[in-house]
Amino acid sequence: MKFQKAKPGSGHRGETSVKKEARNRIALMEVQKAASLLLSCMLAAFWAPKAYAAESKRAQVEILIARDEVSDPYFHHSVVVMLPESESQLTVGLIINKPTRVTVGKLFPDSPELKNQTDHAYFGGPVEIRTPSVVFRSQKALDNAVRLSGNVYLTFDPDLISSVFQSAKPGSGLRLFLGRAQWAPGQLENEIRMGGWYKIEADGDLVFSADPDDLWPRLHARAAPSKYIRYRLPSGGSYRSTRKVLVM
């Protein structure tokens, strides 16, 4: 992951649309490329991961918030909801605040359940960008879906994705993602130590936010240390002995 020294407050609501567009250009190109491939495919043709069979008991989801220093175009100002641990040793999450310009209907023109859907797909991450997943609400556990928290579930299963869209009611909460974020064992922990991420817990309904552009500044402000606190290394000390110094 790439880091840079960001100017104080850079990337918040004062950011120009030109800068924001430039930053997201690479991610958008990847999504658009995936969309062109998807247009000729039936939903059932997708490979769906089977690794998330265990039922999560968490009341809240774990959320990663990219720090301002992260310059990687895929993860700059990203908010990532983490998936429960799976049988594999990989750490997996979905970026939840990057809607694309591609509608669900355009992605699946041959699917009767999906071809008329006008909701926009979201960029979930740069790994397996042709693989769709859906986060949805359900009052009961379903086969081929993993509970993220509360009544919020995730599925990669093609048949369940179709069924969820077909039975969805207005305002029920539904998000389709393309791709996912993924880390090798120890990789994410190292990025956190390097100062790439803040980590918090939040309600799973955060995934369905009506204002995804507001998620990063709001959660970043919540997770970041107070501006009145500086982290200072004692003379001859190490990061392990870092002190918090109150600035008046």
The verdict on residue 8 lying in a domain is: no
Range of 142's domain?
A: 17-246
Residue 185 has pLDDT above 50, yes or no: yes
The verdict on residue 4 lying in a domain is: no
> How confident is the model at residue 3, as a pLDDT?
54
For the chain, what is the mean pLDDT? 77
Residue 191 has pLDDT above 90, yes or no: yes
> How confident is the model at residue 173, as a pLDDT?
80
The verdict on residue 64 lying in a domain is: yes
Q: What is the pLDDT of residues 75-130, one digit of tens each?
A: 999 999 999 887 778 999 999 999 999 998 888 888 887 888 888 999 999 999 98
Contact status, residue 197 vs residue 224, Cβ threshold 8 Å: no
pLDDT band at residue 183 using 50, 70 and 90 as cut-offs: very high
> How confident is the model at residue 56, as a pLDDT?
58
Tally of CB atoms within 10 A around 33: 12
Tell me the pTM.
0.74
pLDDT band at residue 59 using 50, 70 and 90 as cut-offs: confident
Q: Which residues contact 106 (CB under 8 A, 6 or more apart)?
A: 35, 39
The verdict on residue 55 lying in a domain is: yes
CATH number reported for the structural domain that contains residue 120 in this entry:
3.40.1740.10
> How confident is the model at residue 68, as a pLDDT?
92
pLDDT band at residue 182 using 50, 70 and 90 as cut-offs: very high
Q: What is the pLDDT of residues 200-219, one digit of tens each?
A: 999 999 999 999 999 999 99
> How confident is the model at residue 86, as a pLDDT?
74
Max mean pLDDT among 15-29, 41-55, 198-212 falls in 198-212
Q: Which residues contact 183 (CB under 8 A, 6 or more apart)?
A: 90, 91, 92, 191
> How confident is the model at residue 166, as a pLDDT?
84
Contact status, residue 197 vs residue 67, Cβ threshold 8 Å: yes
The verdict on residue 193 lying in a domain is: yes
The verdict on residue 71 lying in a domain is: yes
The verdict on residue 3 lying in a domain is: no
Q: How many domains does the chain have?
A: 1
The verdict on residue 10 lying in a domain is: no
